[in-house]
Every structure is written in structure tokens, then in C-alpha cells.
Chains A and B, each alone.
Chain A
Amino acid sequence: MTPRLLHVQSRRQLGTFAGLIALCLILWAATPHFLTVSNLLNVLEQTAINAVVAVGMTFVIISGGIDLSVGSILALSGIALGSALQAGVPVPVAIALALAVGLACGLVNGVLVTFGRLPPFIATLGMMSVARGAALMLAEGRPISGFDDGFRMLATGRVLMLPAPAITAGLIYAVAHFVLGHTVFGRAAYAIGGNEEAARLSGVAVRYHKTAIYGVAGLMSAAAAVILTARLNSAQPTAGTMYELDAIAATVIGGTSLLGGEGTIMGALIGALIMGVLRNGLNLLDVSSFFQQVVIGVVIIGAVLVDMSLKRHRR
């Protein structure tokens, strides 16, 4: 990222980052259990799934859309993965199958939005139900469990102490950051979200890129499904329920505007970490699950309020 652009983008990102640091400091002061190596690794592992889903969501929201189907696609890809593993398909092939299922669902979303001209909200709302139903049908309502240790390494493995899910998420973030900032695809995402008509009239292949963006969201859901399935040692047709809202929350806390055209991948990471740290900290503090929901809601609203006021100041 060029220094000057970093300057503009990062002032807001810095705000979110400062929020994350402040949150950590508060928790450090409030409980001795927070700032320990094992707990921080714990947070990274727990955050990985939402963080990966949030990558896809960030692409979609930057392009001016929304994807409500990520949680359901996660479940369907997970069931595809679980069924394949149980049928004795080699692990890499099963994972490829799961990713293909997620990608395909995402592309269907994209086609409905671009060629079908459906509002993203409607198209993905439909997919949310279709994918969930398909997952339940395929699994006959029951979880598919019990996979071999080789596959489970994707969740239980450690490299230099770091949990495997965190490493996977880290790699995905590195790639997504590059794609959004340095490729034609990323440029198109921003342009489409900023002003779709201007992008189209400039010769940007809007429909192609938009379709692909929803494909990425589906693919990310599938990647999250792989981690989740390994972590739970089980693929559940009910997995990922309401994950779309967590992903949207992480994205907007990270400074991505729901109006499209702006946002960053690293913002989504910080947003996901804020949510992960918050949940972890509230557990450590033994806050009831009811009050946890209140706090998380307040943080989402607060983060967006701050973001908007910073934006106004810049005008």
C-alpha cells in the first residue's frame, strides 16, 4: 500500500485497532486469565472461523452487496466434506469438493444478482434457505461425525505454537489483502461498490466481477466449514446458523461501509478479533450469556458511530 493512501485509509483503521488494544488492556486489568499465551492462542483459534467468513463478506459489502447465505453455505459445504470423508475419499479431494460446493453456491448467488437482477438481499436470503435445507436433506438432519486424525490436524495441529486454524486464516488474509489492493479484481470490487454505473461505463466487466465476488464469499464459507468440521470433529447441518450476522458485524466494526465502495480486509480481521476477544473476555469474567449479547450489540453500534463521526470530520 502506498504511503499516502495508507494515511487516508489507516486513520480509520487505526481507530479500530486502538479500540482492539483498549479492549485488551481493559481485559488485562479485569482478569489475570486474559493475557496469557495459552488464552491468546485460544482467542486466535476461536476467531479464525468468523474471520474467514468475514473475508468473503468484506468483498461482497465493498462491492455494495450483502450475503445472508454464508452460514448456510458453510453448513452445506461442511456436510459435503463430512459425507466425502466418511465415504473414504482422500482428505485433499474431500476438501476440494467442499470448496467447490461453496464456490458453486456463491456463483449461483452472483448469477442471480447480476443476470437475474435480483437485489442481493433477496437472492442470498433465498440461498440461505436453499443451502440450509439441502444440508439438512443430505445429512438427513443428523450430524456426520468421527474423522481421522490426519484431517483433524487442520484444527488440532500446531506450528510454532500457533493453532492451525489461525495459520489458515492468516494465509487467507494475506492473499485476500493482496487481491483487494493489488489486482484488477480488487479494483473492480471497489469501483462497483462506489458507483456501479460509472464502473460499467468505464468498461469494467461488472457482471463478471460481481458474480465472482459472490463466488469468493461462498468459497470463504466453505473454507470456514473445513476448519469448523475439523474442530468439532463433526459436520452439522445446523452449523453456521446466524454466522452471517457475526461476519457482517466483524466487517462493519472493521470500518467497511454497508453502502459499498470502501473498506479493507485488515479492518475485517480487526473487527473479527474485537468480537473474538470480547466473547472470550466476557466468558473469562463470567458474564451471563444474556448480558454478553447486550455488550456485543453495543460494541457494534459504537464502532459504527465512531467510524461515521471520523468520516464526517474528514469532510
Chain B
Amino acid sequence: MSRLANVLVVGLAMLGLAAGCNRGSSTESGAAPKVAFVMKTLNHPFFLDMQRGAEEAAGREGIQLVVQAAEREIDVEKQMQIIENLLQTGIRALIVTPSGSREIASAIAKANRGAVPVIVVDTRVDPKAAADNKLQIASFIGSDNYEGGRLAGEYLAKSTGGKARVAILEGIPGHETGDSRLRGFREALQQHPGMTIVASQPANWERDLGFTVFQNMLQAHADIDALFACSDLMALGAVEAIAAAGRSGGIRVVGFDALDDARKMIEAGRMEASVAQSPRDMGRIAVESAARLLRGQAVAAEQKVPIALVTKSGTAGSH
């Protein structure tokens, strides 16, 4: 049994380490109110930027911020568990970027039941699910994804002279974010009869799938002139697929999110443009709103974060 004891000691040490690692932010130091920020994932630059903005604001506002995310972006159930668990720790406000716009409703309902105000960021809660569960959402903070999609569509139509064969890489189906971008993009193209969509397939927000899916698209439609990817990660994957096919510069690629990598690609001329959101601003505004709520001040039910199109020639705003 001594070996069992050994393993237990090691396990104990691990846990101690785990707890110790995060002591700085998580211990109930003084009277700083605790606010939880539950994200879709923490292995995506977009959300890391958002985290940075949130943490900067938390420092200024004197808020103790807890940031957590599930191991996998699509794991709605894990996100729900995390929220349930954090609600046990006496948080004063909950900020969440939903992994599923409908599934998140149950978790938000739990927060409502505990009288913890909820701020939703980036991905809107499905209106019907919200109504069904009588959810109370203090504020939604997000960029207008529909507008972003439209912006991308208009830009492509202009730069191709209104005549092009267009491919689309979609995100995970059923996500409000991706669906809005897609809708905006399609509706913009409808204004230009010369623009035809030859292929539209999901690549699940992932870089490697972006590569594979677009490679396959090129096999089926060698004459693609332009690509709209609902996120830069997928766009970056596609850019590599274009290079692998020896067609660099021959296909106009427009992404979404304006990640650093994407900006570099735009500088290098391998991508045309990317729709810039301001995740850092989202994070900042979310925490600032939480602070206002805690002080008993009102916040707007909907707060739009500006979007802009990043191209080689500069940044053009829409709002």
C-alpha cells in the first residue's frame, strides 16, 4: 500500500501546484468582487486578445477576473459544467462567449436563478431559446457579424469588377457568428449578378481543415477566382493550399478577424483583406460593463464594437 501512498502524495503535490499556479488571480484577496469570464476556447488568438482586453480592464476596475474555457471549442457541455462550477464559487457577474447559441441557455438560466448578472460577448444567444427560458441578459457585446460579412462581399465584388467565381469556407454550422457572416456575405453578392458562388463548405473554424477543404474545392473547381473564409484561421489554411497548388496570387482571399498572421499575409500580398473585429475592445467593454452593473449603474442591452476591413492599402471602417 506504500506505493499507493506515494502516488497520492504526488497527486497532492500536483494539485497544490495547480492551485498555487493560479493563486495570484483566484484567492479572495480583500474585497475585490469576483467576475467570471468563460470563453469558447483559449487556444485561439482572437480569444487571447479578448482575454488581454478583459484583464487590462479588470486591473483598472479593481475586479478579480477568472478566465476559463473548455478543452475543445465545440464542447458545449463542458462549457456548461464550467459555468455551473464557477457559480459555486460566489462570482458576482458572469461574462460568457457561448460555444452554442442555443445550448448556453440552460447555463445562463442557472446564473439568473442565482441572481448573477450575465453579459454575453461575441456570439448572440438564440432569441427563441432566450425567450423560452425567460433569460435575463444584461448586455450583449459584439461586432456586427452580418455587417462584416456584407463588407467582405462588397469589397470582393468591387475588386473583381463584379464578375467572379467565389468559394466560401464556413465555420461550424449552427453558430450564430458564422451564420451571420455568411448571410451578410451572400446578401452582398446577390446585388452583383456576375458573382457566382461555386462552392460553400464548412471547415469548422480550423486551420488544417481550411487547408484540406479548400484543396478539395480547387480539385473540383479549378476556376475559382475568389475565396471568403468566415475566419482567418481557415483563410490561412486555404492560403497554404493555394500555394501548394501553385496558384499564389491567383485567388483573392478575404478572411475575418484580422489576426496578426493574416495581416502579415495581406502585407505579403497572399491575402486580399480581412474583416477586423476588435476582440480586445470586446473584452474591455465586457468587464467595464460588469463593473458598472456591480456599482448598480445601467448598461445598454446591446453594445456594438466597430468593425473594419484591413487591406494592403490600410484600414477602412464601416461604422
Interface residues of A (CB under 8 A from B): 15, 18-19, 22-23, 26-27, 30-31, 33, 36, 38-39, 42, 45-46, 49, 140-143, 145-146, 155-156, 228, 231-234, 236, 238-239, 241-242, 279-293, 295, 298-299, 302, 305-306, 309-310
Q: In whole angstroms, how far apart are the Cα atoms of A290 and B173 in the complex?
A: 26
Q: In whole angstroms, how far apart are the Cα atoms of A231 and B81 in the complex?
A: 11
A143 near B19 (CB under 8 angstroms)?
Answer: no
| Residues of B close to A299: CB separation below 8 A | 11
Residue from B18, B22, B75, B80 with most neighbouring chain A CB atoms (10 Å):
B18
Question: Which of chain B's residues 134-193 have a Cβ closer than 8 Å to chain A?
Answer: 172-174
Closest to A229 in B: B103
A284 near B88 (CB under 8 angstroms)?
Answer: yes
Instruction: Give the shortest distance, in Å, between A135 (CB) and chain B (any CB).
Output: 12
Does chain A have a CB within 8 A of B89?
yes
Q: What size tier do the contact residues of chain B reach?
A: 35 or more
Segment at the interface with A among B65-73, B237-245, B257-265, B281-289:
B65-73
Question: Which of chain B's residues 1-50 have a Cβ closer than 8 Å to chain A?
Answer: 1, 3-4, 7-8, 10-12, 14-16, 18-19, 21-22, 25-26, 42-43
Among A18, A228, A282, the residue within 8 A (CB) of B18 is A282
A295 near B15 (CB under 8 angstroms)?
Answer: yes
A30 near B103 (CB under 8 angstroms)?
Answer: no
Q: In whole angstroms, how far apart are the Cα atoms of A287 and B88 in the complex?
A: 15
Among B66, B106, B173, the residue within 8 A (CB) of A232 is B106
| Residues of A close to B84: CB separation below 8 A | 42, 45-46
Does chain A have a CB within 8 A of B100?
yes
A287 near B18 (CB under 8 angstroms)?
Answer: yes
Instruction: Give the shortest distance, in Å, between A240 (CB) and chain B (any CB).
Output: 9
Instruction: Give the shortest distance, in Å, between A270 (CB) and chain B (any CB).
Output: 14
| Residues of B close to A291: CB separation below 8 A | 18, 21
Check A38/B88 contact, CB under 8 A, given A145-B102, A232-B76, A287-B18.
Answer: yes
Instruction: Give the shortest distance, in Å, between A16 (CB) and chain B (any CB).
Output: 10
Q: In whole angstroms, how far apart are the Cα atoms of A143 and B173 in the complex?
A: 8
Does chain A have a CB within 8 A of B128?
yes
| Residues of B close to A293: CB separation below 8 A | 71
Q: In whole angstroms, how far apart are the Cα atoms of A155 and B80 in the complex?
A: 13
| Residues of B close to A281: CB separation below 8 A | 15
B75 near A232 (CB under 8 angstroms)?
Answer: no
A234 near B8 (CB under 8 angstroms)?
Answer: no
| Residues of A close to B14: CB separation below 8 A | 295, 298
Among A22, A284, A298, the residue within 8 A (CB) of B85 is A284
A279 near B81 (CB under 8 angstroms)?
Answer: yes
Among B19, B22, B81, B129, the residue within 8 A (CB) of A145 is B129
